[in-house]
Structure 1
Amino acid sequence: MKKIYILVVLLLASIACEDPFDLTRKDIISEDIVFEDEGLANAFLADLYSNAQFQIITGQSNFNMNLINSFGGEARNFAPWQAPFGQVIGPVFNEQGAGALNYWPYAHIRETNEFITRLPGSSSLGEDFIAVRVAEARFIRAHAYFEMVKRYGGIPLVTEALPIDASEEELFVSRNSEKEIYDFIGSEMDEIVDILPSVADQDGRATRWAALALKSRAMLYAASIAQFGSVQLDGLLGIPSGEANTYYQRSLDASREIITNGPFSLYRKQSDPVQNFTDLFTDENGNPEVIFAEKWDALAGKGHDWDLTAHPDGFGFSWNSNYPVYLETLELFDFMDGTSGKVDRSMYDDTTPIDPNWFFGQRDPRMRASISHPGMSWRGKTVHYHRSTDYTDPADGLRKRSASATFIIPGSDDWPGAGPRRNINAATTSLQIRKRLDENLPATGVNLSSTDFYVFRLGEIMLNYVEAAFYLGDPNGDMANILNNEIRDRAGMPALSGAEITEDKIRQERRVELAFEAHSFWDLRRWRIAVQELDGVVRHRMHFRYDYDDGTYTIAIADGDRGRVRSHQERNYYYALGLARLADNPKLIENPGY
C-alpha cells in the first residue's frame, strides 16, 4: 500500500542510541501515525491551508500581491520586469496556457483528497474532531476548484486520491462542465456548513460563515456566467441562461444568512470615514467585519512585504512606490455630493488651476483611504507627487519654478520643489495604492508586514447580496437599505434613489468598495465586459505641478503604460489549458480560440 510521509522538525532522542548501520529513516513519520494523532493531523491540515491560494504572494518581496489588480486595470507595478507589469500589459495569452495566471493545483488537491479520505478511518481520534477537520479540507478543496473554474471553465473534478498503481483509465480524467464545477462547490458548502463551527478554534481556519461566503461568491459568479456568457464546447463551458436566477437565489440566500444571523457588522470604530476605512484593513483587534482571512504575523516569522513595496517614497522604506494607480481608477470614485468622479478632461491641460481640497478632499472617502495622492497626510508628513512648484520668491518678488526635490520653497513650511524621485518619474502615475498600509509600522527590514489579507469580509457579502437582489427583482425589499444605510453610509456617501440603483451603479459601487482587493478583474470577466474595459484600452498617468502661491495644482495626463497595450480578447474569458497539459492527458479538450 502506498505510504505518505511528513517530515518533522524534531528528531527522536532515541536516534542517537540506534545502530548506526540501520538504514531505516527515523526522521519521518508514516501515514498510519499521522491519521491517528491529533497534533499531526492538525499539522497536515495546516499545510493544506498554507498551500491554498487564498492570495497570490509570489515574486520578489511578494510583488505579485498586485497581480490581479494589475490584470483588472486598477494599478500596475512599477517595473516591466515584474509580472504585474511585464506579463500583464502587452502579451496575448496563447496556446501555451494562462501565463502569470496559471493555476492547476492537482497535486495540492490530491493531498487534500488523501486527508478527506484517510482521516475518517482513524481509530483514535474523536468523531467531532474528524468531522470538523474533514469539512475544513473540503472547504480548501472547493476554493481550489473555484480558482480554477474562473480561469478555465470546465475542468476535471477529482475527489479521490488515485493509488500509485492507477490505470491509464483512472489517470487520464476528462473535463467536467463548468456548471458541474460550480454545482460541486455549492453542494460541498451546503454539506459542510452545519459541520463547521461558528467560531474557529484558531484564527485562519474555516467556519460555517466562511463556507457560506464561498458559496455566496461562487454562486454569484455562476449566475453571471449564465446571464452574460454563452454555452460552448458541447456544454463544457458556460451555463444555460435559464439557470441564472437559480444561482442568483443561491448566492442571495447564502449572503442573507451571513448578514442576518452571522456575528458580523461593518467596521465603524472611527467617526471619520477616511480613517475608518483605512483602519478597517489593519485593525486586527476584534475586527467585526472579517469573515475569513489569510493570517500573517511578522514576529512569528510569517511576514510579507506589502508595506515595503507599497509605501510612497520619502518615508524610509527601502523599496517603496511599487504600485502606481491609473487615472481611470480614481475616476470611479464619485464626489461626496453625488456628482461623477469623471471630471471634464479638458481640465488636464497643465494650465487650469485645480483645488486639491475639491479634487481629492471632496471625493468618496474610500478613495482617500485607498489611494495615495498628492498632498495627503501620512505618518505625520505630507506626501508629495508634484513634479515642480511655481512660486513667488520673497527675496525679489519674481515668479519662479523649481523641479528639485531637495530645494525648499522660500518662506514655506518645508515644501519641496518636487516630490521624491520614485513618486514622480516616468514609470509612475503620481497615484499609488494606499489600502492595507500600516501607518505605524517601523520602516525596518523586509518581511515586516503582519496585515492580514481578507479573503472574505462582510462588505463584499453585502455587495453580493445587492447584486443578486437586483437581478431577482429585490425579493426581500431590502436591497436599497443594505446599499445605502450600510455600505454607502459607512463610506460617508449620500444615499442613492431607487432610480439611481442601476446595474452600472451597483458595479461601480463594487469596484470602489473592493478596489485593490483582487476582485475587479474577475468581476469584469464574469460580467463579460473585460474586452471593452481592458482590450487595447489606454489607461493614463497624471503629472502634477503645484502653485505654492494659491495652493492649486495643474494636471497633465499621458499614456500610463508607456506605450504598452493591455490585451483581453474574447477567447480570454477562458484561458488555454496549454499544449503541455494536452500532451500529458489525451482526454483533455482545449478551450476555443487556441
Structure 2
Amino acid sequence: MKNHIQFLLVSLLLLLSACEDPFDLTPTDIISGSIVFEDEGLANAFLADLYERALFHYNTGQSNFEMNLINAFGGESRNFAPWQSPFGRVLDTDFNENGAGVLDHWPYNTIREANVFIEGLPQSASLDQEYITTRVSEARFIRAWEYFQMVIRYGGVPIVTRALPAGASEEELFVARNSEQEVYDFIGAELDEIIGVLPEQTEAGRVNRWVALALKSRAMLYAASVAKFGTPQLNGLLGIPSGQAESYYRQSLDASKEIMDNGPFTLYRKDPNPVQNFINLFLDEDDNPEKIFVEMYDFESGKGHNWDNTGTPAGFGFSWNSNYPVYLETLELFDFIDGTSGKVDRSIYDDATPIDPKQYFGQRDPRMRASIFYPGAPFKGGTFYSHRSTDYTDPATGQVERTTAPGFIIPGSDGWPGSGHPRHRGGNPTGLLTRKMINPATPDGTPSSTDVTIFRYGEILLNYVEAAFYLGDPNGDMLAVINNLRDRAGMPELSADQLTQDRIRQERRVELAFESQTFWDLRRWRIAVEELHMVQRHRMHFRYNYDSGTYTVEIADGDLGRIRLHPEENYYYALGLNRIADNPMLAENPGY
C-alpha cells in the first residue's frame, strides 16, 4: 500500500508537470478553471505538490545537516565535527538584520498556491462535493501549518488568504504584518473549521481530523506559552497579552482531550521490553497505534532520506560515522529507574573514579538506552564502543597493561577491543551518539524508507499534561496521564507533589528527545537564553578497566571552543533587510 500511494503521487506530479506552467501567475486561472480543477487526478497532483512543499521537517537533500538541524540548535546533539560547515552553521550562527539564516522560512509562494487551490477547487462543475470539501480542508491545513512555522520564528506575519492576481496593485501586494495573536487565532479558527469536515481515516501521510486536532493541540500550547512567559512588543505585533494564556491552554487541552477520548490511538506497547519497545515505536509501520501523522518515505518509489546513512556508528557497515554526537547534558536528563536524578555529581568525571556501566547506563530510563548509543550499547548483532583505552592484567606476565589499539582483543575476553572505533573516541567525538529512529534494516549506503513521525500520541499526552498543569488540572487526571507515559517507558510513577513545572518539562524533553521539538519548546518557555546562549556543553572521554568492569570518565568542552548563541532578541528572528526593502509595510523585529 505504501509503495502504491507513493507511486501514485509521483505519477500525478509528472502528469501535472506536463501541463503548460500550471503554477505560473499568468495561466493559473485559465488552467485551474478548465483543466486542473475539473480533473480529480490533476487536482490530487496539485495537492500532492502542496504536501511536498510544506516544511513538516527539514530534509531537502543535505540530510547530514538538515534532519538533525533543530536537535542541534536545541543543544541535544551536535552536527558533526567543528571544522565542518553543518557544525558551524549551528554553533556560530549570529542571527542578525539579514534574517533567520538556516532557520529562515517565508513560504508565501506555497501559501499562494494553497490559496489558488482553496479558491479554485470549489468552482469545479464536475467533481464530487465531498471530495472538494475534503481536499480543500487538507489545503487549509497545509496553509495553517505554514503560518505556524512562521509565527514560531517571527511572531506576527501578514495573513494572506486569497491568491493575488498577476496585476495586483501595490496596495494589495504590500501587506502589513498581523499581530502574533491574530496569527495564532487564524490558525485556531482554520483548524476548528476543518476539524468538523475532515474524515477520521485517510491514507497514511494524508491529513485527517485527528491530524488537524494534533496541530491545534500543539499550536495553541505554543500560543499559551507565549502569553504566559513572553512580553508583548512592537505595538502588539509580537507577544500575546498574559490574560489570554488560559484561553489558549484550554483550547490545547480540549483538542488533546478529544484525541484521547475519541481517537483510535494508544501508546505503542507491542514489545514487553521497554528499551526495544521504544526503539520499535519509530520504526514499526505496521498498524502502529501511536502515530497520528507521518511524512512518508520509500526509496524504491523515489523518495528516501539519509538519517540512517549519516547516523549509523562507524564499524556497522556504513563508510563514515554518525553525524549526531550527543552531549552529556542530554544524557543527564534521563533519570535512573529508581527515580533518582540522572544528573550525578560531576566530580566523578575525574578520569579516576570507577563508574559501573551496568548502573550508570543500564539503570537509566529505558528511553535513554533506546535513544542514545552509549558505551556497550548493542546494535546490529554487535556492540558500540567509544572508550579510548583499556587497562587489563596480562595473563602471561601478571602486569597491568594499557592498550589504545582498537584491533587488539583483550586476552581471555569475549572479544573486548582495546579501544573503540577511532571515529568514536578521538578528541572530537562526545562518546555518545543519537540512536532514535536509526533503522538497522536499512542496507548499507542506501537512502532510508523509514517514515518520519510528525505527530504521535505520546506528544498529545504531554501537551495535555502541560496545559492541565497551568489550568489547575480541571479534569483531575494529569497525574494518571503522565504516569501512563512513564509506565510505558518502564519508569516509576510520580506522586502528586512531584508533578512540578520542571518535572513536566523534563518528561517532555526525555520523551521527545531528538524529535525536533526541544529547541522550539525552550523558546516558547522563554528559557532558551538560559539554556543555550553561550552555555558550554560537554563531551565524555571513556577509559575502561577490564579487570573491574568499570569506566573512568573525563569531560571536556563538547564544542571545542565554538560558541552557541541565542540572545534575547532571537526569540523573534529578523524578517531581513531584503524583505523590508521589498515591502515597506513590514515592520522589523526589535534588536535588528
User: Do both proteins adopt the same fold according to a TM-score greater than 0.5, normalized to the shorter chain?
Assistant: yes
- Report the Cα distance in structure 2 between the residues aligned to 1:40 and 1:265, rounded to whole angstroms: 36
SS at match of 1:543: strand
Tell me by how many angstroms 1:61 deviates. 3.9
**1:26 — aligned with what?**
none
- Cα distance in 1 between the residues matched to 2:85 and 2:269: 36
In 2, the alpha carbon distance for the partners of 1:142 and 1:6 equals 23
For 1:304-355, what per-residue CA distance to the aligned partner results, in whole angstroms no more than 9, with x for missing partners? 1101111111101123321000000000000000000000100000011100
Could you say which residue in structure 1 is the equivalent of 2:264? 263
Write the distance in 1 (CA, Å) between the matches of 2:558 and 2:17.
Answer: 53
> SS state of the match for residue 199, structure 2?
coil
Question: What residue in structure 1 maps to residue 275 of structure 2?
Answer: 274
Q: After the TM superposition, which parts of structure 1 deviate over 6 Å for at least 4 consecutive aligned residues?
A: 9-12
Distance 1:577 1:314 in 2: 44
1:512 pairs with 495, 504, 510, which one? 510
Task: Report the alpha carbon displacement of residue 10 of structure 1 after superposing the two structures with TM.
Answer: 9.0
Matched, 1:8 2:10: no
Question: What residue in structure 1 maps to residue 546 of structure 2?
Answer: 548
Residue aligned with 1:179, SS: helix
Number of positions where the alignment pairs a residue of Structure 1 with one of Structure 2: 570
- Normalising by structure 2, we get a TM-score of 0.94
Q: Give the direction of change, closer, same or farther, for the CA distance of 1:81–1:562 in structure 2 (3 Å limit).
A: closer
Distance 1:151-1:61 versus aligned 2 partners, 3 A rule: closer
> Is the CA contact (8 Å cut-off) linking 1:350 and 1:556 kept in structure 2?
yes
Residue in structure 2 matched with residue 16 of structure 1 by the alignment = none
- Counterpart position of 2:565: 567
1:192-591 equivalent positions in 2, closer than 5 A = 192-200=194-202, 202-443=203-444, 445-447=445-447, 449-484=448-483, 486-591=484-589
| Contact 1:70/1:77 (<8 A) preserved | yes
What SS class does the counterpart of residue 8 from structure 1 fall into? helix
Separation of aligned partners in 2, 1:117 and 1:422: 54
Give SS of 2:90's match.
coil
CA contact (8 A) 1:6 1:30 kept: no
Cα deviations by residue, 1:16-67 (Å, 9 ceiling, x for unpaired) = xxxxxxxxxxxxx933211100011001101100111000013534531000
Whether the 8 Å CA contact 1:228–1:527 is kept in 2: the answer is yes
Please list every run of 5 or more consecutive structure 1 residues that lacks an aligned counterpart in the other structure: 13-28
CA shift for structure 1 position 565: 1.0
Deviation at 1:453, TM superposition (A): 1.0
Offset from partner CA, 1:533-552 (integer Å, 9 cap, x none): 01111000000001111111
In structure 2, the partner of 1:56 is 58
Question: Which residue pairs with 1:17 in the alignment?
Answer: none
Secondary structure at 1:556's aligned position in 2? Answer: strand
Contact 1:66 1:84 (C-alpha < 8 Å) held by counterparts: no
Residue 395 of structure 1 deviates from its aligned partner by: 1.4
Is 2:230–2:240's contact at 8 Å kept on the other side of the alignment?
A: yes
The residue type paired with residue 517 of structure 2 is H
User: Per-residue deviation at 1:11?
Assistant: 6.9
Matched with 1:181 is: 183
**What is the Cα-based RMSD across aligned positions, in Å?**
1.5
1:30 is paired with a residue whose SS is helix
C-alpha displacement of 1:82 = 5.2
2:88 — aligned with what?
86
Say if 1:64 and 1:83, in contact at 8 Å, map to a contact too.
no
Deviates further, 392-401 or 169-178: 392-401
Of the structure 1 ranges 87-96 and 256-265, higher mean CA displacement relative to structure 2 is found in 87-96
SS in structure 2 of the partner of residue 156 of structure 1: coil
Cα deviation for residue 6 of structure 1 reads 8.0
CA contact (8 A) 1:393 1:399 kept: yes
TM-score, normalised to structure 1, is 0.94
Q: Output the CA distance in 2 between the equivalents of 1:256 and 1:319.
A: 45
User: Do the aligned residues in 2 keep the contact of 1:89 with 1:566 (CA within 8 Å)?
Assistant: yes
Cα contact 2:15–2:42 (8 A) shared by 1 = no
Q: Are 2:217 and 2:463, in contact at CA under 8 Å, matched by a contact in 1?
A: yes
* CA displacement 1:266-288 (0-9 Å, x = unmatched): 00000010000000000000000
SS at match of 1:49: helix
Percent of counterpart pairs with the same letter? 67
> Does the Cα contact within 8 Å between 1:216 and 1:464 map onto a contact in 2?
yes
1:139 to partner: Cα distance: 0.3
Residue 77 of structure 1, CA deviation = 1.1
